[in-house]
């Protein structure tokens, strides 16, 4: 299990130091939640902040775009140093075109689904996406409760991908902590995002280690 601390819960007055802290604590990815106040009822930050953060660590940046028209900003995120860019299936951009745009800029393309979106809806895009992000809370805020009823989506997508000879990474995001991680492991999740689970822990390295290996 790989762990991606969500910086939504970091101390942004020390963004650089927080990046170094998570790098040293063993983060496999740095999960960066971009929100526009339209796609979700919350606003966070955009490409300039990510660009400033890039100098502090070499850990891959996993950028989760909770924005209505991601196609307008893909180039900005590429220039800012994103490694993986994930868009939402429910956004207003052309999904196939935007995934192609992400890959053409040399990044990994991710596709995310909100809790109400069925797993099967990603099937048409499995040729273009490298990474599927299953939301285990309604996107918008950290610190919400894990929705265990989202877990069957993992098997549905993995099985379909396998039977079509496609390799896919499955990431889950929302409410993942020491209590809920075992369910994620059993379900076959490859990458777990954890915001409050890591940032509110006294010892981030111990929290990451526990999430990784149990
Ligand atoms: C929610 C974000 C998550 C969030 C997770 O919309 O996509 O990445 O920060 O936070 P926790 O782990 O606290 O649920
Ligand atoms: Zn996220």
How large is the average pLDDT for residues 30-57? Answer: 98
Query: Which ligand 1 atom sits closest to the C-alpha of 138?
Result: 6
**CB 3 near ligand 1, within 6 Å:** no
Ligand closest to Cα of 84 equals 2
Which of the residues 36, 62, 130, 173 is marked catalytic?
173
Segment 79-88, tens digit of pLDDT: 999 999 999 9
Averaged confidence pLDDT in the chain: 98
For the chain, what percentages of helix, strand and coil (3-state, to nearest 5) are there?
40, 20, 40
What is the best residue among 43, 91, 195 to mutate for testing ligand 1's pocket, by most ligand atoms within 8 Å of CB? Answer: 195
Bridge partners of 3, per DSSP, are 192
**CB 171 near ligand 1, within 6 Å:** no
Q: Which of 155, 150, 88, 151 is nearest to 125 (CA)?
A: 88
Q: How many domains does the chain have?
A: 1
CB atoms within 10 A of CB 99: 25
Q: Which domain holds residue 137?
A: 2-213
Reported pTM: 0.98
**Does 36 participate in catalysis according to the annotation?**
no
Segment 165-188, tens digit of pLDDT: 999 999 999 999 999 999 999 999
Segment 104-159, tens digit of pLDDT: 999 999 999 999 999 999 999 999 999 999 999 999 999 999 999 999 999 999 99
| CATH number for the domain harbouring residue 9 | 3.20.20.70
């Amino acid at each position: 299990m790989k762990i991606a601390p969500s910086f939504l819960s970091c101390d942004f007055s020390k963004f650089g130091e927080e990046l170094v802290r998570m790098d040293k604590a063993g983060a496999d990815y740095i999960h960066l939640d971009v929100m526009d106040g339209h796609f979700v009822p919350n606003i966070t930050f955009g490409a300039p902040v990510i660009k400033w953060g890039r100098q502090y660590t070499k850990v891959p940046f996993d950028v989760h775009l909770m924005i209505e028209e991601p196609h307008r900003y893909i180039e900005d995120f590429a220039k800012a140093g994103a490694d993986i860019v994930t868009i939402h299936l429910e956004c207003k951009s052309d999904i196939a075109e935007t995934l192609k745009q992400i890959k053409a800029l040399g990044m990994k393309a991710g596709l995310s689904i909100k809790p109400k979106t069925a797993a099967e809806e990603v099937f048409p895009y499995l040729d273009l996406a490298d990474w599927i992000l299953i939301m285990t809370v309604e996107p918008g805020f950290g610190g919400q409760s894990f929705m265990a009823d989202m877990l069957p989506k993992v098997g549905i997508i993995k099985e379909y991908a396998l039977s079509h000879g496609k390799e896919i990474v499955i990431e889950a995001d929302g409410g993942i902590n020491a209590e809920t991680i075992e369910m994620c492991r059993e379900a076959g999740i490859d990458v777990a995002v954890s915001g409050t689970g890591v940032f509110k822990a006294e010892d981030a390295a111990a929290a990451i280690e526990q999430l990784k290996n149990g």
